[in-house]
Structures are given as structure tokens and as C-alpha cells.
Structure 1
Amino acid sequence: MIRSRWGVHLLFGGLLVAGVVVRGLAVLGYRPVLWFWADSFAYLSSAVDLRPLPSRPAGYSLFLWFFENVQVVVVAQHLMGIAMAVAIYAVLLRAGLPAWGSALAAAPVLLDVHQVQLEHLLMADLLFTFLVVMAVVLLVWRPAPWAVVAGLGLLGMATVTRTLGLPLVIVAVVWLLLRRVSWRAVGAGVLAAGVVVGGYATWFNAVHGSFGLGGSNVWMWSRTMTFADCRIMDPRPELAVLCPEAGPRLAAPVYIWDPKSPIVRSGAEKEELTGEFTSLAIRSQPLDFLLTGLGDALWAFEWNRRIYPSPGPQSAYVFPDSVRPFSDRVASAGRTATQLTVEYQGSSAETRIVEPYAGWLRAYQEYGYLRGPFLAAILLAGLGGMLVKLVRGRFADLTPALLPWAAAMTLTFLPPLVAAFDHRYVVPVVPLACLAAGLALTRRATDDATVESGTRAKRKAQLTAG
């Protein structure tokens, strides 16, 4: 009996062991962490100085400040990846999906090498993904008042990690209202998210003199440079200096970092000017804005990963065969990379590649990831399953899948619209898409009220028969 009970979980157990092995190779082969120049050091400097970053939310810096050791951070991030897979498996089992189907839905999170690479990178994306997935899992599992408060609170924490969390709060609130969760519970959840976001904004104001989460108009401006036509926009002379040069358009991030970029000519007022230019470009060319962003988002579904914005191992987010050594060059906040890591943990954290573990991992990454068309198929499976339930009038079955599916679509299409396409932004879509597809393909009701109603009806029938 016990063997039979645990035997159904053998497939997931095998996948879980394989996922742990892949992560073990990363920990052994790339010690202690992989760095993304220079964003990783910006987060680290914020953790050392304990102050919000002006250009992006610093929730991840607070996470780093708590651990004070990059090796511990990496292990914690790998554990988060495993926890997401376990949570997806548990939710789908509870929803009525067979154990083998639940295991397959969790497999991309366990085995996708780009998921593992993101966990091994000192960047905010893994923490953001974990907070979003666990929030969705809580809300889908059982939208009781405590879960609503906790779920929206986690999305508030995701917002102060990456601002993309804010639209997900809106998505979650709309979903809760569709599911007819009490106004009191939804209001308490919104308050929880507001306390987290408002608290961070207050801290930001205390340091930088204005309420905000950290950000820059430059990102949206760089997005407009991929389609802006100043002949259509007719900008005033002060804005015209930001117009793109004639010829082929570059990738959006290039316009931020390239020394020849028009932004260099904008002077000290670049925040104000880029904001005005962005608004004018979108108002003048709304269709070009949408088509350019949506077209870039579709790169996520290509068979081969697009090297973007420029060739190189870092732009593809892979485990490299060589790493950039620490140097005397300033990494962030007037410190070199060595100085920053020594201040943070008392020793240098320069990456060392250790063979044969790194070589085994590089061999695995040639094939061990979710190809773009399969991600598209997973999203379509979720949509198709929901449409079938809608046609059959099973709205209670449809709504659980709607939240992770809507969140996945938001994270797929919003970043290319407001910033740029990046495969690093695609990885968080995968667990949500898998969860949505699994919930959409379940055959029985997952709504607690429906299940409880069915249980009462069964008991009544048994009493009548008796």
C-alpha cells in the first residue's frame, strides 16, 4: 500500500534528482557565482551601502544584504528553483492532473539549463520569478483571505524587485474579482501589496528626494529608437538631437550604452528630454510602437535562441567556457569588483571555472533547454484547454488556469514593449505557462466551493440511499 502510494511519484522523483544534479554541476563548476557586468555589481553595491538604486528597484539588494555571502545566495537561488517545481507539481496533483502529467509540467523548471543559469547569476530575475510563481501558486491553491493577503503581498515584493511586478498585481486583482473573492479579502491583499510598495517608495524618497521605485525614461526612449521616424514626429529642436540616425536600426539597449548614441548629445536634461521624446514617439506612431514590440516578443518562440543584443556568451545567458576576470576597472559606486566583493563578504568572489563539472554542464546545455516552439505550444495548450471549458460552461474550472496564463502572457509581451527583448525575460514565463497548461487540462473542478458542493451532494445521496 505504501509502495503503491509513493510509486506514482517516481517520475517526479527522478526528475527532481536530475534537477538537483544539474544544479550541483553549476555549483561545482562555476564557483562561487556568475556575474553580469555591470548590473550584478550595481545590486551588490546597493547591498553594501544599503540604499535604493536610482535606476532600478533594489529589492534584490535587500535579499543580498540579508545573506552577506554570494555562495549562500547562489545555493538559496537554486533551492528556490527546486521549490517552484515542487509547488507546481503539488498544485497540479491537487487539481486532479495525473502524477505523470504534473511531473512533465514541472520538468522544464527542473531541467532547463537556462533556468539553472539564471539561478546561478547574481541578478534580480530569479528572485522575481520565485516571488511571482509562489504568489500565483498561493492564490490558485486556495483563494482564502489569508492566501489573498499573502499572494498579493508577494507580488508587492516582486514589484520592488522588478517593476514588472506591478502589472501582475493588477492581473491578480482582476482575477480575484472574476472568481468572486470577497471585497474585504481583496482589499486586504491590495493593502498588503501597497504597504510593501509604499514602504519602499518612502525609503527611496528619504534617500533620493522623490517617491518612486527607481527607473529611468532612457529605457523607454531606447525602445522608441527602434521605430521612431522624426519626419512623422516633427519634434522641437531640443528633442531632435535624440532622433535616430539614418540607416538600419540597432537593438534597443545599444542606444543606451553606445558612446555614439544620440543620448550622449542630450546633456544633463536627458531624463526630461527622453521622457518627452518617448511620449511624442508613441503618440505619433502608436501602431509602429505596438508592432515593433510585439514582433520582438515573438523571438521567444523561435527554434534557436537569438543572440541579442550583440553576439557573445553573456548575451545568450549560457554557462561560458571562459569568464571575465576581475580587474582594476570600476565596477560600481567607485569600487572595483574585488573591492565590492571583499566589502560584502570579506573575500574576493571572482568566478573560477572548475573542470570537469563545468564541461559536463556545457555539454548538457547544448540540448537541455525548452525550445521556443515548445513554449508556444505550452501557452496554446493552456489557452485551448480554457476555451474548451468555456464552451462547455465550466467557468469554475477555467478560472484557476486563467491567472498563471495571463501572468505568463504579460511577462512575454510587456518587456519587449516597454524596454527590449531579452531571453533573460523569457525564463520567468516558463513555470507560469506550465502551471497554466496543467490547470487548463485538468478534467475535474478545482474550485473549492465546487468540490465542497459536490462532496455535500454525494453525502446527501448516500444518506438517501441508506
Structure 2
Amino acid sequence: MAHRALVIAMLPAIGLRVLAVLGFPPAILFYGDSFAFLREELTPGTTRPSGYSLLLALLRPAHSLTLVTVLQHLLVLGLAVALYALLRRRGLPGWGATLLVTPLLYDEFMILLEHMIMADAVFIVLVTAAVALLVRRVTPATAATGGMLLGLAGITRTVGLPLLILTAAYLLIRRYGWRPLVALLVAGAIPLGAYATWMKAEKGVFALTEADGNFLWSRTMSFADCDVIKPPERLKVLCPDMPVEERPYPPHWLWEDFSPLPKVPGTANRNRLAGEFARAAILAQPGEYLGAVLTDLGQLFRWERTAVDEKTPYKFPSSERPISESVRGVAESYEMGPAATRVVEPYAGWLRAYQRFGYVPFPVLTLVLAGTLVAAPLRRRWDALLPALAALALVASPPFLAAFDVRYVIPAIPLICLAVGLAFGPPTPFLARRQATASHDLLSAGLHR
């Protein structure tokens, strides 16, 4: 059987996802993003785009959170098969292509995100599918499809926006011609423009969210010193009132009671002033800003993703967590019944045990990505640079714009797997012919001397 290695690898991977479905029905809910996505009224989100909400709305008539999570599990499994097929087309043997998609199949955090009512799994599939399509072959049609997928990724998670620009730069530098470039940008602009127009009609702002300034402001709470910044009077309300060494992690400044952010009236006004303060803080304290970013990026060298006793939402739960009354109706309306995550043993326990070791440590991923970024140009595997740079953008941009979160690294995993296969696998037929021609020319030149 030509694909025996993949079939053997797929069976346990499917089994792990069956454990998730059996052990944690109907889904794992993330407080409070899941409930914002599940709301029946469709409106553009304030702090996050609502692309994922549109997908949930399409599935709402089934009134099944299980359907949502099963679909997400299938999408990621399908993505693994697609990457395997692409790597096989590039000349990798079956065992090699299977080995490269193994992190996508077996990473415990990937399985967790697939089983959450969160936008991450869909975002991962959209971004990786777009990049894979463009490294396979660039034509106006594939560029348009890739652009559309990246545009949809941008209204699913805003961190997808830089990837459309990055991909356009890739097509421009590789000189694929103006038709694919225009097709990519126009197709990508369609979902982005439609969503921003919806936002304008609903909230009076032509944008994807009303929180980019808030998130950047929260980033500066790691170091901001108003004695150094000297903000104008209108921004002083946003100055932190606790010493730097006592300040909590940036995201807490967005939601907690101690934050001065809610003191600023008006959603749009708050976002605008927060953005002004953040830019002033970064310009006044650039060294401290870069220090905070580097400190966050240092977590990429932490071997354990989550410690055994660490309190984090990124673990398969050991007991049912009741849904608070303020959002219970949202989830139960979607499910048409009880929606709290149930913990069914022994399946849940088996998956919790697997979670302690079933992952590729971030230091390994970081070193592999760095090695691929160096090797790709040295080996003239230019197509490997697109997934590698996309992975780098996904990993590195959150600490600059908000803060590091272990969840934000996971979308880079399939892109890194793809980049490694393209950088270190056999040369493409075109490259092989080119290298053979170069060798023949060198030999001929030597014989004629």
C-alpha cells in the first residue's frame, strides 16, 4: 500500500479525537470568548472579528455543539492529509511525509483547540490551506483562492491580516507576474472589505474590530511610566497606578476591575485614546518595549507548555465547570439543552494523561523554524520561505501587539511542518532539471578547456 505509513498514523490520531468527543461532550467552552461567538444576534465583535460566529450561525439549525467540534476535528485531519499529499508530490517518501504531519495529528493542544468553541482550529485550516495552495502552484486562479482564504482568516482572527500582505510580497519578489498578485489582493479584499462595511453600518467604524488600540495599550502596561511618557491631559486617565514589578500580565488590563481602561467613555473613543497612549509609550520607552517583547518571546524556550499545577484554561478539565448565569442562556439556546462541558471517565482521564507528554516542545519548534529559515535560501528552496515566514509572523507578532499566549503559537505548527518538507526534501522537477543543466554546463566548459 503506497500510503501505509499515513494510514497507520491516522488511526491513533482519530482515536484521540474520539476520546475528546466521548470524554468532554458536547464541547469545551472558553470563558468568555466562546459565548461571544455563540450569541444568536449576529453583530460585528468589538474585541474580536466575528468570522467564526458566521460559521456557527450556519451550523445553528442543527443545535449541536458536538457537530461543531466534530467538524473542526475533521477539518484538521483533512488538512493533515492535504499536506501529506503535497509533500508526496514534492518527492518525499510516504514515511517522510507522514513524519512531518505527525505534529499536526498528535499535538495535544491541537486536539484541545479543535474541541473548543473557539476560532483557532478554523483559522489554522484557512491559513495553512492558503499557503499550501500557493506553494503548490501559482496561477491567477490559485492566487485568488489563496487570497480569499487569507481574507476569511483575517475576519476570523486579525493576526491573519499581515499574512495577506506577506503573501503578496512573496508573489512580488518571486516575480510571478501581475495577474496572480492582483488576483490575490482583490480576492483577499472581498471578505475583509465586506466585513469592514458591515462594521461601518453597525457601529460607524470602517474596521475589523474596535480594540486594536486597547490591546496595544495593554502591551505597554508591562513597562509604561507616565513620568517618562509625559502624556497629554486627555491620556493621563490611562496611566497605571501600580509599580511595574507588581503589574499583572498585559491581558488582565483589558478585563479586570483595577484597569483604568473602562474609565474612558465610549468604545471607539476608548480604543482611539488607548492607541494614542500606546504609541506615545513605545516612542518614549522603546528599550523597555523591546525588552517586554523579548521577555515574552523567551517563553518559546520553555520546555513544558503548562506545569502540572498551573491554573490555565488550556487543559482538558478534570471536573465540570458550571456555566455562569450571565451566559448560560447563550450556550443553551445554541444547544437547545444543557451545554456545560461534561467530564466522562475513563475517556477524559486517558486524554488528560496524554496531554502531559503528547506535544512537540516549543524550543524544538523554534529551533526547527530557525533552521528552516536559514536552510531555505542556502538550498535555494524559495517556496519554503512562504510557510516559514508565515509561521514566524504568527509566532512573533502577538508579543509586539498584545502579549504572548501559548495558544497563539499552535497555528504555526502545520506551517513549520510544511516549510521543513519543502526546504529539506528532494528538489522539485524544475529545480532538479536546472541543477542538472548547470552541472552539464560546468562539465562541458571543463572539457573544452
The two structures have a TM-score, normalised by structure 1, of 0.87
Paired residue for 1:236?
A: 232
Once residues 394 and 416 of structure 2 are traced to their aligned partners in structure 1, the CA distance between those partners, rounded to angstroms, is: 10
- The 5 A counterparts of 1:4-153 are 6=2, 9-45=3-39, 48-68=40-60, 69-153=64-148
Q: Relative to structure 1, is the Cα distance of residues 265 and 211 closer, same or farther in structure 2, using a 3 angstrom cutoff?
A: closer
- Work out which of the residue numbers 302, 317, 320 in structure 2 matches 1:320: 317
Distance apart, 1:360 and its partner CA: 0.7
SS of structure 2 residue aligned to 1:323: coil
Distance apart, 1:42 and its partner CA: 0.5
Letter in 2 for 1:58: S
Q: Do residues 222 (structure 1) and 224 (structure 2) align?
A: no
Once residues 381 and 82 of structure 1 are traced to their aligned partners in structure 2, the CA distance between those partners, rounded to angstroms, is: 27
Contact 1:28–1:357, Cα closer than 8 Å, also in 2: yes
Runs (5+) with no aligned partner, structure 2: 439-449
Distance apart, 1:264 and its partner CA: 4.0
C-alpha RMSD of matched pairs (Å): 2.1
Contact 1:382–1:438, Cα closer than 8 Å, also in 2: no
Distance apart, 1:455 and its partner CA: 11
Q: Relative to structure 1, is the Cα distance of residues 142 and 272 closer, same or farther in structure 2, using a 3 angstrom cutoff?
A: closer
Q: Which portions of structure 1, spanning 4 or more consecutive aligned residues, are displaced by more than 6 angstroms?
A: 451-457
What is the aligned residue count? 429
Runs (5+) with no aligned partner, structure 1: 332-336, 458-466
Distance apart, 1:364 and its partner CA: 0.9
Contact 1:294–1:417, Cα closer than 8 Å, also in 2: no
- The 5 A counterparts of 1:317-396 are 317-328=314-325, 330-331=326-327, 337=328, 339-389=329-379, 394=380
Distance apart, 1:363 and its partner CA: 0.9
Once residues 347 and 265 of structure 1 are traced to their aligned partners in structure 2, the CA distance between those partners, rounded to angstroms, is: 38
Paired residue for 1:207?
A: 202
SS of structure 2 residue aligned to 1:351: coil
Once residues 115 and 406 of structure 1 are traced to their aligned partners in structure 2, the CA distance between those partners, rounded to angstroms, is: 21
Letter in 1 for 2:303: W
Letter in 2 for 1:318: K
Contact 2:199–2:206, Cα closer than 8 Å, also in 1: yes
Distance apart, 1:276 and its partner CA: 1.6
Distance apart, 1:17 and its partner CA: 0.9
1:172-215 deviations in whole A, cap 9, x for unaligned?
11111222212012102211111111111111112112211113
Once residues 181 and 232 of structure 1 are traced to their aligned partners in structure 2, the CA distance between those partners, rounded to angstroms, is: 48
Which segment is superposed worse, 139-148 or 20-29? 139-148
SS of structure 1 residue aligned to 2:191: helix
Paired residue for 2:442?
A: none
- The 5 A counterparts of 1:130-279 are 130-216=125-211, 217-244=213-240, 245-248=242-245, 249-268=247-266, 269-279=269-279
Letter in 2 for 1:67: L
Which segment is superposed worse, 286-295 or 145-154? 286-295
Once residues 146 and 203 of structure 1 are traced to their aligned partners in structure 2, the CA distance between those partners, rounded to angstroms, is: 27
Letter in 2 for 1:122: I
Once residues 368 and 342 of structure 1 are traced to their aligned partners in structure 2, the CA distance between those partners, rounded to angstroms, is: 32
1:356-413 deviations in whole A, cap 9, x for unaligned?
1001111111111111121123213312421431xxxx3xxx2110000000000010
Distance apart, 1:454 and its partner CA: 9.0
SS of structure 2 residue aligned to 1:313: coil
Letter in 2 for 1:371: P
Distance apart, 1:71 and its partner CA: 1.1
Which segment is superposed worse, 28-37 or 369-378? 369-378
Once residues 72 and 231 of structure 2 are traced to their aligned partners in structure 1, the CA distance between those partners, rounded to angstroms, is: 46
Q: Relative to structure 1, is the Cα distance of residues 240 and 173 closer, same or farther in structure 2, using a 3 angstrom cutoff?
A: same
SS of structure 2 residue aligned to 1:43: helix
1:131-170 deviations in whole A, cap 9, x for unaligned?
0000011101111221111011100000011111110001
Which segment is superposed worse, 257-266 or 95-104? 257-266
Paired residue for 2:298?
A: 298
Q: Do residues 416 (structure 1) and 413 (structure 2) align?
A: no
Distance apart, 1:290 and its partner CA: 2.6
Paired residue for 2:421?
A: 438
Letter in 2 for 1:313: T
1:241-268 deviations in whole A, cap 9, x for unaligned?
3222224132001112221123244445
Once residues 324 and 227 of structure 2 are traced to their aligned partners in structure 1, the CA distance between those partners, rounded to angstroms, is: 45
Distance apart, 1:346 and its partner CA: 2.2
Once residues 108 and 368 of structure 1 are traced to their aligned partners in structure 2, the CA distance between those partners, rounded to angstroms, is: 9
Letter in 2 for 1:298: G
Distance apart, 1:445 and its partner CA: 2.6
Paired residue for 2:445?
A: none
Paired-residue identity, %: 42
Letter in 1 for 2:112: Q
Contact 2:226–2:239, Cα closer than 8 Å, also in 1: yes
